[in-house]
Amino acid sequence: MKRKSTGVLSALLVVGTALGTSACGAGKTEAGAAAGGCDTSKGTLVVGVIAPMSGKLSAIGLGIRNSVRLAIEQAGSRCAVKGYRLAVDAQDDEANPDKGAAAAQRFADDPNVVGIVGSYNSGVARAIQPKIAAAKLLQISPGNTDPVLSRGESFATAPKRQYDNYFRVVGTDDLQGPFNARYMVEEEGKKRLAIITDGKAVGESSATEFAKEARRLGARIIIREKVNENDSDFSSVLTKVKAARPEAIYVGSEYHVAGPLSKQAKDLGLDVPISGTDGLFDPQFIALGGKEGDVATSVGAPIEKLESGKAFVAAYKAKGFSEDYGGFGAFAFDAANVMVSSVAEVTADGDWTGAIEQRTELIKQVQEYKTDAGANGTIGFDQYGDSVSKMFTVYKVTSGVWKDVLSDQFEAK
């Protein structure tokens, strides 16, 4: 694996001043700032957010919500969309596809909603996509990694765009799974690998891609097992895995499963590294039992080390949010800024009506969007709506915290 220092990953700073925010709860519409005498005579435009803001994944969802609030406040303070006040309507999907789809349908039916930042979960996105397709409501995800969402079930052999209104600002599992495998095999030297998944589509997909690359590099998948994401006792599966004598365990799930699983594996005498993708990369993984030496890959580069991300981090911290921005806050911030910039282009010569034709024009503007000044650096989209950036980072639990080990653009071999 070719190493690149994250210290040289730089881009222009995002410029913007964050204003005060109300302590609105999820599900309420929050008015954006209209400071400095901005003309808001044309009314209010709404950016919808769909994310898990309660339940086991709330640490991720609240960071997404807060980061969109920050972006919209900054946009309002600089009168980004002339004549309009900007607002956020954040809906808690609880990582439940039905709840996410219901929220999306309400947004699609509201002409004042310009688009959705969300969802985080790929399973929720699968439920949302058909609900908003006919209405041509823009969707930009800060966290979906399932390649099927953009390129279809035959994404590897016959990719075909599924919905022209769907975009994402993160890399996909068919890239991240192999990236993880390369690190574990080439850098960590692990050749006997176990896989445990939670049965959800995204976990299965990432694990399958991990396995393909690991085998290509000469490693063996000696056992593959499933658990239920609502389980709390993994002893029966871990006992079977221990008997296979793996050198590492790839977990196709998220931190609420992988953290306790790591602790229980160690308690059983199976003290080997747990590895997984971005669903593990959260402080809650460590709080729930993640141990020294466990590994997670995640999308993008460490936001705190990117010159282009420092303004976002400083502005977020200045707001005093109760929750951290997490692994996907900066991506939500970028997604919201893409949306605002594109709406500004569409309304430059006329009013926003929310008509199909206008929403279609907004989709076109997003497709053409390109900047090197996002919080995460380069932001843009390919012909499938996928991010043009293929940057990923390896993190390892070191002295009780996640520490970035290396960042690199993924290149298929």
Q: How many residues does the chain have?
A: 413
pTM listed for this prediction: 0.87
Q: What is the pLDDT of residue 412?
A: 74
Q: What DSSP element (H or E) covers 48? A: strand 44-51
Asked if residue 222 and residue 108 are part of one domain, the reply reads: no
Decide if pLDDT at 22 tops 50. Answer: no
Rounded Cα distance, 284 and 11, in Å: 30
* Of the candidate ranges 56-60, 359-363, 384-388, the one whose mean pLDDT is the lowest: 56-60
Is 387 a domain residue?
A: no
Sequence-separated contacts (24+) of 110-113 with Cβ below 8 Å = 110/46, 110/354, 111/353, 111/354, 111/355, 112/43, 112/44, 112/45, 112/46, 112/352, 112/354, 113/45, 113/46, 113/47, 113/48, 113/89, 113/137, 113/354
Decide if pLDDT at 10 tops 70. Answer: no
* Of the candidate ranges 12-16, 209-213, 380-384, 388-392, the one whose mean pLDDT is the lowest: 12-16
- Higher pLDDT residue, 332 or 56? 332
Asked if residue 341 and residue 266 are part of one domain, the reply reads: no
Asked if residue 256 and residue 133 are part of one domain, the reply reads: no
Q: What residues contact residue 102 under an 8 Å CB cut-off, 6+ apart?
A: none
Asked if residue 357 and residue 289 are part of one domain, the reply reads: no
Is 386 a domain residue?
A: no
The residue range of the domain holding 164 is 6-171+303-381
Asked if residue 161 and residue 80 are part of one domain, the reply reads: yes
- Higher pLDDT residue, 37 or 348? 348
pLDDT, average across residues 11-38: 46
- Max Cα distance, the chain (Å): 69
Report which of 314, 315, 307 is spatially closest to residue 70, judged by C-alpha positions.
Answer: 315
Is 363 a domain residue?
A: yes
- Higher pLDDT residue, 413 or 306? 306
Q: What is the pLDDT of residue 134?
A: 97
- Higher pLDDT residue, 26 or 256? 256
Q: What is the pLDDT of residue 25?
A: 40
For residue 411, name the pLDDT band (cuts at 50, 70, 90). Answer: confident
Is 399 a domain residue?
A: yes
Rounded Cα distance, 31 and 33, in Å: 7
* Of the candidate ranges 278-282, 367-371, 382-386, the one whose mean pLDDT is the lowest: 278-282
Q: What CATH number corresponds to the domain at position 247? A: 3.40.50.2300
Q: What residues contact residue 153 under an 8 Å CB cut-off, 6+ apart?
A: none
For residue 199, name the pLDDT band (cuts at 50, 70, 90). Answer: confident
Query: In the chain, pLDDT over 90 holds for what percent of residues?
Result: 88
The three-state secondary structure class of 384 is: coil
Q: What is the pLDDT of residue 21?
A: 35
> Measured at the alpha carbon of residue 270, what is the angle toward residues 186 and 242, in degrees to the nearest 5?
90
Q: Is the distance from CB of 324 to CB of 27 less than 8 angstroms? A: no
